[in-house]
Structure 1
Amino acid sequence: MVPKLILTVILLISVTVTTADYLRPQPRETLHFQWSPKPASYPQQVHISLAGDEYMRVTWVTDDQSSPSIVEYGTSPGRYSSVAQGESTSYSYLFYSSGKIHHSVIGPLEHSTVYFYRCGGQGPEFQLKTPPAQFPVTFAVAADLGQTGWTKSTLDHIDQCKYDVHLLPGDLSYADYMQHRWDTFGELVQPLASSRPWMVTEGNHEQETIPLLKDGFESFNARWKMPFEESGSSSNLYYSFEVAGIHVIMLGSYTDYDEQSDQYRWLKVDLSKVDRKKTPWLLVLFHVPWYNSNKAHQGEGDGMMAAMESLLYAASVDIVLAGHVHAYERSKRVNNGRSDPCGAVHITIGDGGNREGLAHGYVLILTNLHYKEPQPEWSIFREASFGHGELKIVNSTHAFWSWHRNDDDEPVRSDQVWITSLVNSGCVAEKRHELRNVLMAP
């Protein structure tokens, strides 16, 4: 037998290695943007997002504070049969003052239809395509984007993907208090974000809190308004929306999430409204992953997981998408730390192209006096490479997930799997009473 003292030392070494801070690789090159003068009334940083059934929110920025918040739109180029009046906001951050940030909701719109639109009565014409009303539906997924050469590569790959909606679980611009970086990010993503809805939730790089001076997420909330009001939420940091037969819940890793929090109470109400006959697929996104075998950010999601996993399990969530860790990892269906056929598939996809580099290291343990990087039983595939994911919900029972490494051509699938919905597996029916009890608990 190993003496107790030696065994204790080994365990302490193991714990120390497992929780030690990892060393980031060298940062990738940051993109440099040429100043391109435009008339003050011209729209900049144009992006769109879903704003309830058959509606779309168009967001843009102008330097002219008197520019109107109107969007003209129609189904033919240059011919606008409708006009929508919106709202505007702006903010100051230390020595920075934003332009006028416009939000205008257009609709009702037809599904699977191309619309041509112009913002503020000035500037170029844009076009968008609305998502379909029925399956199949394809989501592009990429988090932790930033503004580097790798970001450009990721966006180029996504541009080749035939997708309907972009999902981004946190860390958009990596502005990190430098507010002009929000402007350059908006210009960088405009070609994609103006043509397909981008649905985002916050990450740690969106916080930008200055104690006693600035609350968190001021820039993010002003620039990237999501349909929180339409989904009954009181905060832009968590909300839900539906596309065809999919209910998508965007949660906040950086706002209160315990059982007494507004977010938790809203989540229970939102889940109580989900009709799995109408929307058989249930997806959840947030920034900090719960299942992560990388040394990076190890254990940071444990608090939120302890508060919310049992609720999401009772609701039979199919897929959970997260970012934060700058690598890719896909799990089996899992719950409470181990494989469970009625649990969710957890996917970490924080590999969009951030400036901090990739998280190459995985958790070490000491076994027989040798360090190893064992892959947990629940982890199916993991790799520290930049890339993006594509989730094609084919029908009410089957979805196809693929991960595309930037080092390869976009059609090359570095990881892929067919996923069967929990409705089809019988798990939703089995947990109906469990869900009712959880939702009715005080």
Structure 2
Amino acid sequence: MVPNKLKILLPLWAVVMAITAVKATADYVRPPARKTLHFPWDPKPSSHPQQVHISLAGENHMRVTWITSDASSPSLVEYGTSPGQYTSKGHGDTTSYSYILYSSGTIHHTVIGPLEHNTVYYYRCGGQGPELHFKTPPAQFPVTFAVAGDLGQTGWTKSTLDHIDLCEYDVHLLPGDLSYADYIQRRWDTFGELVQPLASARPWMVTQGNHEKENIPFFIDGFESYNARWKMPYEESGSSSNLFYSFEVAGAHVVMLGSYTYYDENSDQYNWLKADLSTVDRKKTPWLLALFHVPWYNSNHAHQGEGDEMMQVMEPLLYAAGVDIVFAGHVHAYERSKRVYNGKSDPCGPVHITIGDGGNKEGLANRYKDPSPEWSVFREASFGHGELKIVNSTHAFWSWHRNDDDESVRSDEAWITSFTTTGCVAKEQKEGR
């Protein structure tokens, strides 16, 4: 009788232990996936501005981008600080592209300014269409960045955008993988429609991911759609490519790098980065941030090791410059590290944050390496967004907000101290690293 009882009890005991282990290691049950959003056809006049978004374009200037079906529509932006009263105007240029059987609309890029800091401007594109408004970032601290990568166009994307809309942020940072068009160009158009309410009201600063490549060997170069639609201030920052650039806002110098363009020591990107970092004045911009798509520190099984080559080449540059925080995407989950360098904790290394959990169609990356590396502080496979509030020249508050059904739940938070208070930057510069 005893052996038979054991045969029955042992499997039951194993099930109980398995359930207990799951509860001990995962206190959050993720909601199910959501479908790709459906965008019904909504015909508009050919000259009607569509897919409006804005981005920073050098000191005190903003680039306004929109699309029209009418190639003769002017690249004109009228703007002012009172509704319906446009006291200034700016003229820009246009571009377009063809992709197999698809032809884009006319893409307008118009830079306006100089603009006042921390000011609401009302504007109209192309001399008609609805009046929109945006708010310029402040000239000094505090300043708040919303951060979310790997967005896509699913129900979770919509939830993430709704939560970001509730955040009192100044600039949106997006470390790659925007539309998930994946060669189907109409999805770039629907993505533009989806993000317009937010992207027309606050500057969106983006860099490319693997889903922006869309190259067809011998026929179409990579990033053609991305470069045509999402023009960033690369020329203003002395870069030769829209795939890497930098900008400054309210005491922060932000470097946007390309994981999918050449980064070896002989590349344009490497030489530009080295030169750009050498110009950073920590008295003017005490905070130094970097963004790129493929994470260098990743304890998820997904995309393991894919950033190693770029890390080997560029990590010493970021370390020597005293970068405070690095944001990446690609892995569809969230993870925050300690200060880290050369594969281990280092008080003079940056904090690495993987935030490729905006709402993509491919789902979450649920499997992590066990045990967790010593440098990993918090990790979770859930959709969500982050908020970085730089309070002053020395302290910033980081929080990650998990999408829990339709509620935004703050699930991770940390105070981060700038290197300007630690002596790390001065030490590294003295050693000539």
TM-score, structure 2 normalization: 0.92
Paired residue type of 1:31: L
Report if aligned partners of 1:26, 1:357 keep a CA contact under 8 Å in 2. no
TM superposition shift of 1:428: 1.2
Q: How many angstroms apart in 2 are the aligned matches of 1:274 and 1:408? A: 42
- The 3-state SS of whatever aligns with 1:388 is strand
CA contact (8 A) 1:26 1:356 kept: no
| Partner deviation per Cα, 1:280-326 (whole Å, 9 max, x = no partner) | 00000000000000000000000000000011101110000000000
For the 8 Å contact 2:149–2:329, the answer to whether it is kept is yes
CA distance in 2, matches of 1:212, 1:309: 33
1:96-145, CA deviations, whole angstroms, 9 ceiling, x for partnerless residues?
00000000000000000000000000100000000000000000000000
Q: Residue 358 of structure 1: which of 346, 358, 364 is its match?
A: 364
Deviation at 1:408, TM superposition (A): 6.4
Report Cα offsets for 1:151-187 as digits up to 9, x if no partner.
0000000000000000000000000000000000000
Q: Which residue of 2 aligns with 1:430?
A: 427
Which residue matches 1:10? none
In structure 2, the residue corresponding to 1:431 is in which secondary structure?
helix
Residues 194 and 289 (structure 1), Cα distance of their counterparts in 2 relative to 1, 3 Å cut: same
Matches within 5 A, 1:283-322: 283-322=289-328
Aligned-pair CA distance for 1:342: 0.4
Alignment of 1:66-81 (within 5 A): 66-81=72-87
Runs of 4 or more, structure 1, over 6 Å off, are none
Name the CA shift for 1:136/1:411 in 2 (closer, same or farther; >3 Å). Answer: farther
Equivalence for 1:114: 120
Q: Aligned partner of 2:55: which letter?
A: S
CA distance in 2, matches of 1:26, 1:114: 39
**Structure 2 equivalent of residue 393 of structure 1:** 390
Against the structure 1 CA distance between its residues 410 and 141, is the aligned structure 2 distance closer, same or farther, given a 3 Å change threshold? farther
Aligned partner of 1:177 in structure 2 is 183
CA shift at 1:411, angstroms? Answer: 5.9
Could you tell me which residue of structure 1 aligns to residue 192 of structure 2?
A: 186
Cα RMSD after superposing both structures: 1.2
Q: Is the CA contact 1:404–1:410 (under 8 Å) kept in the aligned structure 2? A: no
Which one has more relative contact order, counting CA pairs under 8 Å at least 6 apart? 1
| Identity between Structure 1 and Structure 2 (%) | 79
Inter-partner Cα distance in structure 2 for 1:274 and 1:306: 22
| Comparing 189-198 and 33-42, the one that deviates more | 33-42
Q: Is the 8 A contact 1:135 1:394 kept in 2?
A: yes
2:341 matches 1:330 = no
2:53 matches 1:56? no
> How far off is 1:400 after superposition?
0.2
SS of the aligned residue for 1:406 comes to: strand
Structure-2 separation of matches of 1:293 and 1:335 = 15
- Counterpart of 2:313 in 1: which secondary structure? helix
Q: CA deviation at 1:410?
A: 5.7
Q: CA deviation at 1:433?
A: 2.0
| CA deviation after TM superposition for structure 1 residue 409, in Å | 6.7
2:379 corresponds to 1:382: yes
Q: Which of 270, 277, 280 in structure 2 is aligned with 1:274? A: 280
1:19-418 mapped onto 2 (5 Å cutoff) = 28-363=34-369, 373-407=370-404, 412-418=409-415
Question: Does the 8 Å CA contact 1:27/1:356 hold for their aligned counterparts?
Answer: no
Return the letter of the residue paired with 1:405: R
Q: What is the rounded CA distance, in whole Å, between the counterparts of 2:362 and 2:328 in structure 1?
A: 17
- Aligned partners of 1:261, 1:238: CA distance in 2, in Å? 12
- Listed as ranges, the gaps of 5+ residues in structure 1 are 1-24, 364-372
Q: Give the SS at the match of 2:44.
A: coil
Partners of 1:219 and 1:248 in 2: CA distance: 24
Paired residue total: 403
SS at match of 2:409: coil
Aligned-partner SS, 1:430: helix
Paired residue secondary structure (2:397): strand
Distance 2:322 2:278 in 1: 12
Q: CA deviation at 1:419?
A: 0.2
Measure, in 1, the Cα distance between the counterparts of 2:401 and 2:383: 9
